[in-house]
């Protein structure tokens, strides 16, 4: 009996040791271990202490579990409102991936193919012209586009739409007032189609109005206003009830102020300069910017992408479509301008896609295969499939801060 009892003790003890070893190994395998949490806490606080931002918040989910949330500083410094989990921020270009997913639901319906000419669905973009130079008197020299703009072009910023100041295209776009709040996406498309391209379609990556054209195409194909269709197929199924263009009065006390960083410190940008689109239900609903959101809402979107199109039992896209969006489509593009500032990346459908690991401590940290984007007020999110990691960083600071993103990524993964 003693021998049996002894054997039972040994078996139980070995089992406990194996579990402890397994748990320890699991903890070691996590990106967000205690050291990472300590780095993140210190980094968020340093952003505020060093007056890089007025307030910051970060949310991270790893392997299906929330592993980090913290907030530091103020959402509204002048009103002494702290940055919080329910703070509503202006996400600017982090609207673009949501627009892309909205458009791709129509791709899955068979409503278009990526290589279809844009003019098949928007005839105003037939027979586009390209500016090839200026005459001595400053007149534009025009040539016919060597091929049609495709839907793929507007998903990867290679359509040729440009605001090149050296060719006067910035003045034409400014005078056209393409995204005037009192006009519609249809009005935008008509005015844009009358402006010559700055590059041949497919020649160059130039970030810009292409995603607003995506919204226009989605609206036409869906047969309903773009914002309504987006809510129907993306926002509501994901439970993103705090994400919208229009912010009702009862929610506005939670909207974060936006600050401008100068050598003299942080200065609040007047609310009328940054919140006007959201405080009235204007006809214009841009695809490229304009949404406000909370950190939990945006995390739902990121988790859906990590889960290859499904979140909380609701399927937004099929895995094949998400993989298509998260694949680099730029190998043949001549020049990608400032995209290289994001790291060693290409571009998919409304995301940057990391194609190589960082090679020096000066580069932004990240993992090959991750896809991500950011916003003009320095918000950031990424999806890291290798580590089953999704990350959302919210700050509200102009000008766009590569420094904030560099330090935050180093806090997540450790310095290179």
**What pLDDT score does 334 carry?**
56
Which tokens sit at 23?
């748990």
Peptide bond preceding 65: is omega within 30 degrees of 0, i.e. cis?
A: no
Residue carrying structure tokens 């397994």: 22
Residue 11 has pLDDT above 50, yes or no: no
**What pLDDT score does 335 carry?**
62
The alpha carbon of residue 326 and the mean position of all alpha carbons in its chain are separated, in whole angstroms, by 12
**What pLDDT score does 405 carry?**
97
Backbone angles phi, psi at 342, to 5 degrees: -80, -10
**What pLDDT score does 139 carry?**
94
CATH topology of domain 31-104+224-413: Beta-lactamase (3.40.710)
Encode pLDDT of 262-278 as tens digits. 999 999 999 999 999 99
Segment 211-237 mean pLDDT: 98
Q: Do residues 78 and 268 make contact, with C-beta atoms less than 8 angstroms apart?
A: yes
Question: By percentage, how much of the chain surpasses pLDDT 70?
Answer: 92
Encode pLDDT of 50-91 as tens digits. 999 999 999 999 999 999 999 999 999 999 999 999 999 999
User: What is the pLDDT confidence band of residue 281, given thresholds at 50, 70 and 90?
Assistant: very high
**What pLDDT score does 27 carry?**
54
**What pLDDT score does 339 carry?**
86
Segment 245-261 mean pLDDT: 98
Residue 347: which of 93, 155, 208 has the closest Cα? 155
Parts of the chain belonging to CATH 3.40.710.10:
31-104+224-413
Backbone angles phi, psi at 355, to 5 degrees: -105, -20
Question: By percentage, how much of the chain surpasses pLDDT 90?
Answer: 89
**What pLDDT score does 42 carry?**
98
Encode pLDDT of 328-357 as tens digits. 998 655 566 788 889 889 999 999 999 999
Encode pLDDT of 164-174 as tens digits. 999 999 999 99
Lowest mean pLDDT among 14-23, 221-230, 260-269, 347-356: 14-23
Q: Do residues 284 and 276 make contact, with C-beta atoms less than 8 angstroms apart?
A: no
Average of per-residue pLDDT values in the chain: 93
Segment 139-165 mean pLDDT: 96
Encode pLDDT of 98-121 as tens digits. 999 999 999 999 999 999 999 999
d(CA 382, CA 384): 6
Which tokens sit at 151?
């839907």
Segment 4-16 mean pLDDT: 47
Residue 69: which of 85, 53, 47 has the closest Cα? 85
Q: Do residues 393 and 408 make contact, with C-beta atoms less than 8 angstroms apart?
A: yes
Residue 26: other Cβ atoms inside 10 A:
10
Segment 251-269 mean pLDDT: 97
Which tokens sit at 326?
């998260």
Residue 234: which of 89, 99, 382 has the closest Cα? 99
Residue 280: other Cβ atoms inside 10 A:
11
Bridge partners for 142 per DSSP: 131
Alpha-carbon torsion 90, 99, 240, 369, what sign?
A: negative
**What pLDDT score does 416 carry?**
85
């Amino acid at each position: 009996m003693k021998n049996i009892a002894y054997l039972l003790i040994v078996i139980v003890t070995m089992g406990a040791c194996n579990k402890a070893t397994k748990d320890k190994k699991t903890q070691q395998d996590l990106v967000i271990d205690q050291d990472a949490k300590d780095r993140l806490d210190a980094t968020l606080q340093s952003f505020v202490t060093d007056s890089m931002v007025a307030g910051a918040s970060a949310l991270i989910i790893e392997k299906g579990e929330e592993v980090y949330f913290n907030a530091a500083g103020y959402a509204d410094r002048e009103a002494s409102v702290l940055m919080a989990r329910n703070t509503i921020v202006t996400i600017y270009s982090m609207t673009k991936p949501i627009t892309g997913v909205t458009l791709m639901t129509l791709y899955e319906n068979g409503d278009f193919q990526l290589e279809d000419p844009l003019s098949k669905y928007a005839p105003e973009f037939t027979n586009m012209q390209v500016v090839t130079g200026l005459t001595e008197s400053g007149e534009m020299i025009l040539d016919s586009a060597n091929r049609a703009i495709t839907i793929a072009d507007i998903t990867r910023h290679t359509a040729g739409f440009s605001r090149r100041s050296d060719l006067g295209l910035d003045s034409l776009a400014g005078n056209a007032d393409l995204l005037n709040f009192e006009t519609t996406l249809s009005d935008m498309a008509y005015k844009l189609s009358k402006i010559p391209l700055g590059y041949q379609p497919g020649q160059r990556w130039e970030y810009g109005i292409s995603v607003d054209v995506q919204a226009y195409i989605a609206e036409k194909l869906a047969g309903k206003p773009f914002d309504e269709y987006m809510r129907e197929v993306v926002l509501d199924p994901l439970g993103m009830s705090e994400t919208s263009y229009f912010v009702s009065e009862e929610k506005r006390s939670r909207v974060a102020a936006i600050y401008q960083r100068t050598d003299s410190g942080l200065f609040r940008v007047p609310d009328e300069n940054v919140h006007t689109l959201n405080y009235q239900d204007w006809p214009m609903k841009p695809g490229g910017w304009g949404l406000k959101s909370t950190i939990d809402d945006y995390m739902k979107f990121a988790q859906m992408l990590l889960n290859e199109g499904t979140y909380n039992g609701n399927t937004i896209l099929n895995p094949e479509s998400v993989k298509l969006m998260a694949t680099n489509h730029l190998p043949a593009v001549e020049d990608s301008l400032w995209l290289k500032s994001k790291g060693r990346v290409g571009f998919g459908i409304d995301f940057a896609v990391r194609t190589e690991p960082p090679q020096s401590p000066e580069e932004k940290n990240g993992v090959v295969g991750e896809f991500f984007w950011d916003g003009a007020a320095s918000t950031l999110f990424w999806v890291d499939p290798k580590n089953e990691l999704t990350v959302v960083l919210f700050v509200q600071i102009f000008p766009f801060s590569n420094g904030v993103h560099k330090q935050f990524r180093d806090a997540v993964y450790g310095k290179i």
